[in-house]
Amino acid sequence: MKMRGKVHKYGSNVDTDVIIPARYLNTSDPKELAEHCMEDLDPDFVKKVRPGDVIIAEENFGCGSSREHAPISIKASGVSCVVAKTFARIFYRNAINIGLPILQCPEAVDATADGHELEIDTASGTILNLTTGETFKAMPFPEFMQNLISAGGLIPYVQQRIKSGKAGDCR
């Protein structure tokens, strides 16, 4: 998968409570969650973000609670990928489960500023900063995880496997 978008850069320890505040957890509607994404950290985020944009963050992105609402709100807001130095383990798994591409690449984080434009190829792990011309390499996901993300997440992936008669073979 290739994507291209503008960078929205954040620091370390961006927790799920600021990605989607607890006061909005009474809904699981992605569109409604997207309207409040990053609201307590960056009140203008939903006004600035455009389809394809990228979130860049320092360390421990998605720490805090295990709510799936956080990656759902990010994906539904139009963000195509999150690149961070490190992710909280539960956020990492939830992002994959809902089909939100995420990449760990400290070098890209250090060399990228808010407003830069990136082109990302998740299949190869290549991150091209179109603003500076620099290229970075993240560890790409294995093929089965790329298929899961391409399908839109774990549930659509399993539904596709069942429909194709390959439910017993999850490779």
pLDDT band at 148 (very low <50, low <70, confident <90, very high): confident
Decide: 55 and 74 in contact? Cβ < 8 Å: yes
17-37 pLDDT tens trace: 999 999 999 998 999 999 999
Distance (Å, whole) CA 105 – CA 151 = 24
Rounded to 10 deg, the angle between the 143-151 and 154-163 helix axes is: 100
Q: Can you tell me the distance from the alpha carbon of 18 to that of 39, in angstroms, rounded to the nearest whole number?
A: 7
Express the helix, strand and coil content of the chain in percent, nearest 5 each: 35, 20, 45
What is the distance between the alpha carbons of residues 119 and 83, in angstroms, rounded to a whole number?
A: 12
Whether 170 shows a pLDDT value over 80: the answer reads no
Q: How far is CA 137 from the centre of its chain?
A: 17
Confidence tier at 166 by pLDDT (50, 70, 90)? confident
